[in-house]
Homo-oligomer: A and B are copies of this chain.
Amino acid sequence: MAARNLVVAQSGGPTPVINNTLRGIIETARELGCFDRIYGGRHGIEGVLKEELLDLGAQSPEEVALLRYTPAAGSIGTCRYKLRPEQQEDFQRVVDVFKAHQVGYFLYIGGNDSMDTAHKIARLAHEQGLDLVAVGVPKTIDNDVGDSRFELVDHTPGYGSTAKYWMHMVQFANEENRGSAPADPVLVMQAMGRRIGFIPAAARLADPQRQWPLLILLAERPFQLEQVADAVNDLLRRHGRAMVVISEGFDVGSLGEVKDAFGHTSFGSTRVTAAQTLVNFLNQRGLPVKGAARSNIPGTDQRHSMAYASTVDLEEAYRVGQHAVLLAAEGQGGYMATILREPGPVYRVRYDKVPLEQVAGADRQFPVEWIAESGMDVTDEFLRYAEPLVGEEMVSLPLVGGRVRLTRFEPVYARKQLPDYVPQADRKQ
C-alpha cells in the first residue's frame, strides 16, 4: 500500500500569516481527499524526530478556519532545530518516522534552510525505498528567501504583514513625534531583520512623499554613530524633531556591549540593542534642542500584531499553501511552491514551483539600487515593489469577551510506533 499520509511542519521565526498557510494546506488536503491522514510535526522537524505528530485531520473545521486570525506558530509550533549534513542519525530517524506512519507527503514551511532540509530528506527517503513527495512552502517576515532578482520567489508570505505593521506604526509614531516634539524630539524604532533590510525599508511606506523627518538605517549600509548623530541633528535643526528606524542588525560597534560591575565586557546575549545604543549615544552627546531621545523596540510584536496583518499577505499565504498541496497531490516533489509577480503595471501574482535545490542554494540580498544615495533611505523603486503587498484594508479580528478568538487545537496525536529518540543536537547538554 502506498504511503498516503501527509506531514506538515513549520520552521524558524513565525509570521502573522504562517497559520493561514497551514489552513490552506489543511483545508485543501481535506477537500482533495487523496490523503489518509494529515499530521502536523509538533515544533517543526523536532516533532518529527520525537514522533510527536499532531492529528490535524481530527481538528474541527471551525478551529482550522480560525487559523486565519491566529498569528505566530502556537498551534503546531515551530523550531530553530537544523538538520546539518553531519547529523545522519537525525535524517535516518525522519525517514524511519515517515515509514512507521505511512507518510508519503512532507510539506515544510520555512526559509532557505528548510528548503535544503526538505530536499535532503526527500533524497534520503528515495534512497531507502520510501517514495516521499517533499514540497517546500516559503515563509519569513525578513523576505530573505530566494534570489535577489526575485526570479525564484517575488516575496515571502509574512513580509507583507510586517511591512504593513511598520507602515502604520510609523504613521502613528509620526503623530506622536510631531505632537510631543518639544519634550521628546527624537524617536528611534528598531526593526527586525538581522542582515537584510526589507523590514526597516517598509517604514518608508508611511511617508512615500518624504515629507517627514525620517531616517532609515539598514544593516547593509554601515555608518559611524557620529554620522548618524549629525543626520539626526540636521533634521532637528530643520524640523525640530526626528524619527529613526534602525535595523536590529545595524552595527553599533563596541558601544553595544554591556560592561559588568568591574567594567569588563560581558559576552553572550548581553549586548544592548542597536536602538538603545543609538539613543544612549544621542543623549550622552546632547541634542541641539531640549529634550531627549527615546526608543521603541517592538521585537516579536512586529511578527504577531495581528490587527496589522495584510489582507493581501493573508490571501497569498493561503494560496501558496494550497498550491503546495496541489503539487504534492500531483506527485511533484522536490519543489517549493512559489509566488511570482506578473509583469506589467497592475499587481498580479501567479503560484508556481521552483526546484528546492535552487532555493536552498540561493542568497537574497536587499537590492543595492534600492538604497537611496544618502544611504539612510530607500528609493521609489522599493516602494513600487512593496506597496501592493500591504493591501488596502484592515483584517477584521473575531473577538469573544474582548479577546481575540484564536485557534485551539485538541491535543490528539498519532500513536507512537518507535522507541524514544533524542535529536542529535540536543544530546550534549
A interface residue numbers (CB < 8 A to B): 10, 13-14, 43, 46, 70-81, 164, 167-169, 171-183, 187, 205-206, 254, 258-264, 266, 268-270, 272-273, 276, 279-280, 283-284, 290, 292-301, 303-308, 387, 390-394, 396-397, 399, 401-404, 406, 426, 429
Q: Which chain B positions have C-beta within 8 A of A14?
A: 175-176, 179-180
C-alpha gap A279/B297 in the complex (Å): 14
Residue on B with the closest CB to A183?
A: B80
- In angstroms, Cα B116 to Cα A227, docked, is 44
| A269 partner residues in chain B, CB cutoff 8 A | 279-280, 283, 292-293
Complex: how many Å from CA A309 to CA B20?
A: 25
**Which of chain B's residues have a CB closer than 8 A to the CB of A74?**
174-179
Do B72 and A180 touch (CB < 8 A)? yes
Instruction: Give Cα distance in the complex from A393 to B401, angstroms.
Output: 9
Instruction: Give Cα distance in the complex from A273 to B190, angstroms.
Output: 14
Q: Name 9 extra pairs, CB < 8 A, besides A78-B179, A81-B182.
A: A10-B179, A43-B179, A71-B172, A74-B177, A171-B406, A273-B276, A296-B301, A307-B307, A393-B399
Query: Is the pair B295, A266 in contact by a Cβ cutoff of 8 Å?
Result: no
User: A19 to nearest B CB, angstroms?
Assistant: 9
Nearest chain B residue, comparing its CB with the CB of A14: B179
Report which of B172, B299, B390 forms a contact with A296, defined as CB distance below 8 A.
B299
Return chain B residues, CB-CB under 8 Å to A306: 168, 172
Q: Which of A72, A80, A205 has the most CB of B within 10 A?
A: A72
- Decide: A296 and B297 in contact? CB cutoff 8 A: yes
Q: How many copies does the complex hold?
A: 2
In the bound complex, CA of A304 to CA of B298 (Å): 13
Give bound CA distance, A270 to B346, whole Å: 49
Instruction: Name the one of B176, B290, B429 contacting A304, with C-beta atoms under 8 angstroms.
Output: B176
Residues of B within 8 A of A387 (CB): 401-402
Closest to A303 in B: B176
Q: Judging by beta carbons under 8 Å apart, are B169 and A301 in contact? A: yes
A182 contacts B304, CB within 8 Å? Answer: no
Is A402 touching B392 in the complex (CB atoms < 8 A)? yes
Partner of A295 from B78, B81, B297 at Cβ < 8 Å: B297
15 contacts between A and B (CB under 8 A): A14-B176, A46-B182, A71-B176, A79-B180, A79-B182, A81-B183, A168-B403, A172-B404, A258-B258, A270-B284, A296-B300, A305-B305, A307-B307, A392-B399, A393-B399
CA distance A286 to B217 in the complex (A): 32
Given the complex of chains A and B, what is the CA–CA distance between A43 and B157 in angstroms? Answer: 42
The smallest C-beta distance from A163 to any residue of chain B, in angstroms, reads 10
Closest to A294 in B: B299
Q: Is B272 in contact with A263, judged by CB distance below 8 angstroms?
A: no
Whether the pair B396, A394 counts as a contact (CB closer than 8 A) is yes
List of B residues within 8 angstroms of A259 by Cβ: 258-260, 263
A208 CB to closest chain B CB (Å) equals 9
Q: Is the CB of A176 within 8 A of B300?
A: yes
A296: B residues at CB distance < 8 A = 297-301
Measured CB to CB, the nearest residue on chain B to A187 is: B300
Indicate if the CB atoms of A402 and B429 lie closer than 8 Å. no
State A339–B266 Cα separation when bound (angstroms): 50
Which residues does chain B contribute within 8 Å of A176, judged by CB atoms? 14, 71-74, 300, 303-304
Q: Which of B73, B79, B168 contacts A175 (CB 8 A)?
A: B73
Instruction: Enumerate the 4 nearest inter-chain pairs by beta-carbon distance, A residue then B residue, closest first.
Output: A263-B263, A73-B179, A296-B299, A74-B175
Q: Are B295 and A299 in contact (CB under 8 A)?
A: yes
Contact A167–B402 (Cβ < 8 Å): yes
Residues of chain B within 8 A (CB-CB) of A167 are 402-403
